[in-house]
Structure 1
Amino acid sequence: MTAATALIGTVIALGTPDRAEAAVPDTIPLKITNNSGRSGPVYIYDLGTQLSTGRQGWADAGGTFHAWPAGGNPPTPAPDAAITGPASGQSTTIRIPKFSGRIYFSYDQKLDFRLTTGGLVQPAVQNPSDPNRNILFSWSEYTLNDAGLWLNSTQVDMFSAPYAVGVQRGDGSVSTTGHLKAGGYTGVLNTLRGQSGGWGNLIQTRSDGTVLRALSPLYGVETGALPASAMADYVNRVWQKYATSTLTVTPFAGQPNTKYFGRVSGNVMNFTDSSGAVVTSFQKPDASSIFGCHGLLDAPNDAVRGPISRTLCAGYNRSTLLTNPNQPDSSPANFYQDAVTNQYARAIHAQMADGKAYAFAFDDVGNQESLVNDGNPQQALLTLDPLS
């Protein structure tokens, strides 16, 4: 399971159905438009968990669910779930069911999916032996349930073949997000190449020289492409600052009176509530914990530690903790201004047409995520954009 899969429940916040609204049908249309300019074939996959049963599986072009068969150890080939996508300049419409999952797309060749005894093995291209390592592909994440549609573009695991997502609402209006600026794909890659500190090492190319993707910095640290000390200087300065001052976290936009107060003592940042009681503590985080929003910045699905951790994670990745003692900082003009920051996220956001992206796990803090949502979706949209 990759980071983005593990985070589907958090990056796509599920709502509660409004019984007064029209019921969301069992499937809705997804219009896929190929503006990539590439001449080869495109393959589409709709993979996920069926919400009514909790079973993992795939959906065909008509939206019919198929449960995965039993897997093995070593993993066994999964059934061919590929749907033929549109040629360049064309569109294809399929139907997507009530799922929490992913829409994958690949260029030129099909993806290689395998099944273990625990279910589907998602592609993990940070692993040199992954069978999908040399395939150009990407994916969107979505949840469709009785309360509506949540559909996002994501770069949590990697920045690769660009695309945008959208939704047509009940009144006929359309919302989209995820488009890069003109030249944005090349712009992100060139920014990483020009950034000192090993950030250019995140870029993976095929033996023929084709650029396939830039790995997220989490996987960069895990594979040694990015030094484990990438965030150490910033963390040290944060630790020094909040040994003698207070970091105030207000994690819920709708609850301005719910505040937590952080102070550093030795190797620990303790957070207290308004009564002065310690509610949770964090050890000094390393780069992996920051880039992955896990490990020493674990964010359980609770009412206290998780919300504080998500806020801290956003502050570290955006490097706003030193300049603003009141978090979260929701002003994009303040993000990524320190010399030590998540340069991957900085580059991606800078090249997005609307500035929105999921460049790390809790990039939705402060509503900076590339997400569309509607309670009465008439149609979902996926647009494959040029690699330029």
Structure 2
Amino acid sequence: MLVRLTRPALSLAAATALVGALLALGAPDRAEAAVPDTIALTVTNNSGRADPVYLYDIGTQLSTGQQGWADANGTFHAWPAGGNPPTPAPDAAIPGPAAGQSKTIRIPKFSGRIYFSYGQKLVFKLTTGGLVQPAVQNPSDPNRDILFNWSEYTLNDGGLWLNSTQVDMFSVPYAVGVRRADGGVNTTGHLKPGGYNGVFDALRGQAGGWGGLIQTRSDGTVLRALSPGHGLESGALPASVMDDYVNRVWTKYATSTLTVTPFGDQPGTKFYGRVSGGVMNFTDGSGAVVTSFQKPDADSVFGCHKLLDAPNDAVRGPISRTLCAGFNRSTLLTNADQPDNNPAGFYQDGVTNHYARFIHGQMADGKAYAFAFDDVGNQESLVHDGGPQEAYLTLDPLS
């Protein structure tokens, strides 16, 4: 239900179009909506850092399709026209809370991101196609040496969806929360004590280039770990990093059947995968082929795109989501019925998404958005409520 951008340099427009379609499926009748035009977001700075914090609320109005930003009062401002080469965006920074303090702002109804940076403001630019967001997998990105992170959210008449995401990178830790209509609070995203350094230590200790995902500043400050998809782009991980596992999956299902039941509320809807001629064909209950997949490479697996593209439909998209989760969690060889929703069996193969493995292993509740479809089986770090009273973003210690 969220904007899930796996390439942050891209415009928000395409992702928002998909979000709008998804939300429309489950949104209540407008007359029944009780969500106000803005809700409070309280940001608490428990980081222990003395650096100034800057907040940004950037997104797209689902009602108009306009891209822009919101100020501290929740007022939406559309971006001006951009240029080629990109032109500087207006300064959308909101001063954040000092260490040990909290600050409450208002967030309006749109889908987008809440960025926060330590020490200095982020650099945003505008092209003729929209906003250019930080893309620190590019060593020349102006935000490369800034300590920052972001949360993704959608607020509309159906309620609030707010997540803690590591789809693009693992960086300064934070947790999200929502106060429900009944007064209770749901939270997720907190790391275990020592979990922040624990992720980096685990990556450094994992053979095969995984430590190369870590980016540091010239002063030695650890800034982030890039997602493995970005690690492929930078050359930190070899293109063949998932080949052995993918080849074993293709071999297994040349002589056996992979059963995919993609909808938890529709147990009778099943698709059956078999590899023939190097292609995995999926059939429905009548035996008709409904979609086919070429053998995916590591980039397709880590990004859940390209050869594992997931359109917003009722067949290929849901099957692809399931395959993506199975490849990243390495459950396709141990369970021929997918999705496998038992975390005890995730990441047990020697060839797996170790980045996702280490992040989930250090989360206090085990939940994370470590790859694009980590919500398969409800493993995502997401809070949602149909009548949100207040949202929360807690900046945690870097330890």
Which interval holds the TM-score relative to the shorter structure? over 0.9
Structure 1 residue 45 corresponds to structure 2 residue 56: yes
**How much has 1:3 moved relative to structure 2?**
3.1
CA distance in 1, matches of 2:73, 2:236: 42
Matched residue type, 1:79: P
Find the counterpart in structure 1 of residue 348 from structure 2.
337
Find the counterpart in structure 2 of residue 111 from structure 1.
122
**How much has 1:77 moved relative to structure 2?**
0.2
Mark the CA change 1:319 to 1:3 in structure 2 (over 3 Å): closer, same or farther: same
1:296-335 residue pairs with structure 2 within 5 A? Answer: 296-335=307-346
Matched residue type, 2:244: D
CA distance in 2, matches of 1:70, 1:49: 15
Question: Could you tell me the percent identity over the aligned residues?
Answer: 81
What do the CA deviations read for 1:93-117 (whole angstroms, capped 9, x no partner)?
0000001000000000000000000
- RMSD of the alignment, in Å? 1.5
Q: Secondary structure at the match of 1:368?
A: coil
Matched residue type, 2:248: R
CA distance in 2, matches of 1:98, 1:386: 30
What do the CA deviations read for 1:171-209 (whole angstroms, capped 9, x no partner)?
111000000000000000001000001000000001111
Q: Which runs of 5+ in 1 are unaligned?
A: none
Using the size of structure 2 for normalisation, the TM-score is 0.95
Size of the alignment, in residue pairs? 388
Q: Secondary structure at the match of 1:270?
A: strand
- Contact conserved, 1:37 with 1:386, CA < 8 A, in 2? yes
- Contact conserved, 1:11 with 1:361, CA < 8 A, in 2? no
CA distance in 1, matches of 2:19, 2:296: 21
Find the counterpart in structure 2 of residue 379 from structure 1.
390
Structure 1 residue 350 corresponds to structure 2 residue 361: yes
**How much has 1:223 moved relative to structure 2?**
1.4
- Contact conserved, 1:3 with 1:157, CA < 8 A, in 2? yes
Q: Which of 162, 181, 187 matches 1:176?
A: 187
1:49-88 residue pairs with structure 2 within 5 A? Answer: 49-88=60-99
What do the CA deviations read for 1:66-103 (whole angstroms, capped 9, x no partner)?
00000000000000000000001000000000010000
Find the counterpart in structure 2 of residue 147 from structure 1.
158
**How much has 1:266 moved relative to structure 2?**
2.3
What do the CA deviations read for 1:191-239 (whole angstroms, capped 9, x no partner)?
1000001000000001111100000000001111111011000001001
Using the size of structure 1 for normalisation, the TM-score is 0.98
CA distance in 2, matches of 1:373, 1:3: 24
Q: Which of 223, 228, 243 matches 2:234?
A: 223
CA distance in 2, matches of 1:104, 1:18: 31
- Contact conserved, 1:315 with 1:329, CA < 8 A, in 2? yes
CA distance in 1, matches of 2:29, 2:20: 21
Find the counterpart in structure 2 of residue 127 from structure 1.
138
Matched residue type, 1:350: G
Q: Secondary structure at the match of 2:323?
A: helix
Mark the CA change 1:182 to 1:10 in structure 2 (over 3 Å): closer, same or farther: farther
What do the CA deviations read for 1:330-356 (whole angstroms, capped 9, x no partner)?
000000000000000000000000000
Matched residue type, 2:165: T
What do the CA deviations read for 1:31-71 (whole angstroms, capped 9, x no partner)?
00000000010000000001221100000000000000000
CA distance in 1, matches of 2:354, 2:172: 19
Q: Which of 279, 285, 294 matches 2:305?
A: 294
